[in-house]
Amino acid sequence: MSIENLIVLLYVLVLASYVGFELIAKVPPTLHTPLMSGSNAISGITIVGAIICSGPLPGEFPLSKILGIVALFFATLNVVGGYVVTDRMLQMFKKKK
Amino acid sequence: MNQNFLTIIIQLAYLVASVLFIIGIKMLGKTHTARQGNIYSAVAMFIAVVATLLVRDVLSYTEIFVTILVGSAVGTYVAKKVEMTQMPEMVALFNGFGGISSVLVATSEYWRMAHDADIAMPTIIGVTVVLSVIIGAVTFTGSMVAYGKLSGKVNGNAITFSGQHAFNAILFLAMIVASIFLVLDPNNDLYMILVLAIGLLLGILTVIPIGGADMPVVISLLNSYSGVAACFTGFVLNNQVLIIAGALVGASGIILTQIMCKAMNRSLVSVLLGGFGQGGSSTTATAGASDMQVKEVGVEEAAMIFDSASSVIIVPGYGMAVAQAQHIVREMTELLEKKNISVKFAIHPVAGRMPGHMNVLLAEANVPYDKLIEMENINDEFSNTDVCLIIGANDVVNPAARTNPASPIYGMPILNADKARTVIISKRSMASGYAGIENELFGYPNALMLFGDAKATITKMVGELKEM
């Protein structure tokens, strides 16, 4: 990775963090748990990294591939489980009929 | 297909996914759009996954598809089966999975680079691998300990030993030293193993001294860490969507952590140092408990008090979750409303074991969310309320937080339950709350203790109310 590339990534990081702070600062307490479990599912985005690492490599690095596959399993659990459970929770939040 | 063209497609898909994540998380912040927001973010995740599968390196689809299928099946099964009362430990568990996955991805990438003679690992990558491994490892073991504590598999109290902080500090320093050696000499696996091992150990050691009621802070913080770990993994792999999604989660976790700390009037540092409510304060609590006069009330009498009231505020706490009393509480609410008695719920931000715990429990029991009022909006109403029913809450209604500067919870914002004309406290025993201090409210002239399991006593009370 070149320095220029790193700087670009740092820009992305800083701007995304700023957006995150702005978006979440005023979430009502009712939604604290779904927000947490929903954002927890988003943190399963490492699934993308896991897929990249699970790709075939020049035969010499079987360990990298195994680690990638295990990572993929846990990331999928995190993503799918997280979204389903958040949806279940949000489904229950109802206003007075 | 042309390789450049494919790269552009993938990058554009990542951009779309990033925008959808941002929109999704924004919609997750409003009650009427939250469910759709969650779906948007799931779609974003799907797009990111499909785009990644297009990467030319990824050709071994079979293993990948099988793993994704198995992971999805297990994830869906667990998520559908889990009880709403088990939500805090569920969140902790999934959070830990995110952490371990970041660790494994960074380790996998490290292994490939360190053992490929053609690649000299750049220093930048070394630094990001180290950060990703450390934060991921702490997230993983920390979340697992939190899971153990919340599900009752591990002792939920603060576990402390002498020299704990010094020991942690030494480990932390050792980890920094090993990290520096790893960055300077990235091909030496020993340093990598050291960094990983110490990271895993630190995750355990930093969460064990933190007791039950501080869990909302810990869960929020670990949630933030899992985002930060994903973020650094993005640096390792030079992947923007990982950085953006990770940063969003990191930010949301930090905000929740701040809200929780503020609601307890404690600094993050004091929560992390742990051991709250241990030692000194517990001895004074036992000494004080003997000279407080409390008045008991029976179920029938309590039902009569409710029947003659015109306004009621219910203050739920962790005890309601333990007793699983939320459904019967809802039944009682409906009964009282039929008698034209107004009923509201007062929710303290740290009631329970995770942010918003009470809201989820009551939503499960079909209590409409507009009946749940935040502390700031309901505190002035207590003085005009006939009856305040406290179910399994303790420290969040302790007037010592307002009046007694010597109290460990002095300054913590509390619900003004004591201002109601009559306060009925449903509680199993006189045991003190998490802070280990006596609650002077129980001895107030307007306070009545309704001893017994919350579910059992309220069920009996509902029976009485039906006959009135």
Instruction: Tell me the pLDDT band of B288, cut-offs 50, 70 and 90.
Output: very low
**What confidence category does residue A60 fall into, taking pLDDT thresholds of 50, 70 and 90?**
low
Q: What is the mean pLDDT of residues B234-252?
A: 93
pLDDT of residue B406: 83
3-state secondary structure string across B74-109: HHHHHHHHCCHHHHHHHHHHHHHHHHHHHHHHHHHH
Whole-angstrom Cα distance, residue A42 to residue B38? Answer: 10
First vs last Cα of chain A: how many Å apart? 57
Q: How far apart (Å, rounded) are the C-alpha atoms in residues A74 and B100?
A: 7
- Kindly report the length of chain B: 468
Q: Which of these, B74, B143, B82, lies nearest to A85 by C-alpha position?
A: B82
Name the least confident of A60-74, B94-108, B217-231: A60-74
How many separate domains does chain A show?
A: 1
A31, B319, B389 from B332: Cα distances, Å: 25, 17, 11
Nearest C-alpha neighbor of A36 from the set B87, B368, B271: B87
Backbone angles phi, psi at A86, to 5 degrees: -65, -40
Secondary structure letter of residue B382 according to DSSP: G
CB contact under 8 Å between B249 and A52, yes or no, is no
Q: What is the pLDDT of residue B275?
A: 62
Comparing CA positions, the residue from B415, B289, B437 lying closest to residue B358 is: B415
Mean pLDDT across B132-145: 95
Which burial class, exposed, middle or buried, applies to B415 when counting CB atoms under 10 A from its CB (0-12, 13-18, 19+)?
A: buried
Q: Confirm if A34 and B34 have CB atoms less than 8 A apart.
A: yes
Starting at the edge strand found earlier in the chain, the sheet holding B447-451 runs: B372-374, B342-347, B311-316, B387-391, B422-427, B447-451
**Interhelix angle B123-150/B87-115, nearest 10 degrees:** 150
Cβ <8 Å between A49 and B124: no
At B149-198, the pLDDT tens digits run 888 888 777 777 888 888 889 999 999 999 999 988 888 889 999 999 99
Name the residue with higher pLDDT: A72 or A2: A72
Mean local confidence (pLDDT), B365-369: 90
The answer, yes or no, to whether residue B274 has pLDDT greater than 90, is no
Per-residue pLDDT, B284: 39
pLDDT at B1: 56
A2 domain residue, yes or no: no
Instruction: Show residues of chain B in contact with A95, CB under 8 Å.
Output: 31, 368-370
Read off the pTM: 0.88
Residue B185 falls in the annotated catalytic set: no
A93's tokens: 């939040």
Catalytic residue, chosen from B116, B185, B386, B395, is B395
Which domain range does residue A40 map to? 28-92
Q: Would residue A3 count as lying in a domain? A: no
Nearest CA in chain A to B74: A77
Residues B461 and B295: their CA atoms lie apart, in Å, by 18
Least confident of B56-65, B143-152, B228-237: B56-65
Dist. CA B442–CA B437, nearest whole Å: 12
pLDDT of residue B311: 94
Which residue would you say has higher pLDDT here, B24 or B119? B24
Helix, strand and coil percent figures for chain A, each rounded to 5: 80, 0, 20
The nearest alpha carbon in chain A to B34 belongs to A90
**Does residue A22 sit within a domain?**
no
Listed by number, the residues of chain B in 331-390 with a beta carbon closer than 8 Å to a beta carbon of chain A are 347, 349, 354-357, 359-360, 363-364, 366, 368-372, 374
How many residue pairs from chains A and B have C-beta atoms closer than 8 A? 379
Q: Note which residues in 226-265 of chain B have CB less than 8 A from chain A.
A: 226-227, 229-231, 233-256, 259
Q: Name the residue with tokens 């009712």.
A: A30
Decide if A7 touches B, using CB distance below 8 A: no
| pLDDT tens by residue, B53-71 | 887 565 567 888 899 999 9
Q: What is the mean pLDDT of chain B?
A: 88
Closest residue by Cα to residue B64 from B78, B77, B79, B49: B49
Contact B37 A38 (CB under 8 A): yes
Please compute the mean of the pLDDT values over residues B341-361 and round it to a whole number.
Answer: 90
How distant, in Å, are the alpha carbons of B183, B342, B452 from that of B388? Answer: 60, 12, 17
Q: Kindly state the average pLDDT of the residues B304-309.
A: 92
∠ at Cα B58 (B57, B63), nearest 5°? 145
A56: pLDDT strictly greater than 80:
no
Q: What does the alpha-carbon distance between residue B259 and residue B350 come to, in Å, rounded to a whole number?
A: 9
Q: Is residue A8 part of a domain?
A: no
Please name the member of B26, B87, B242 whose beta carbon is closest to the beta carbon of A46: B242
Q: Which of residues 40-69 of A touch B (CB under 8 A)?
A: 40-58, 60-61, 63-65, 67-69
Does A12 reside within a domain?
no
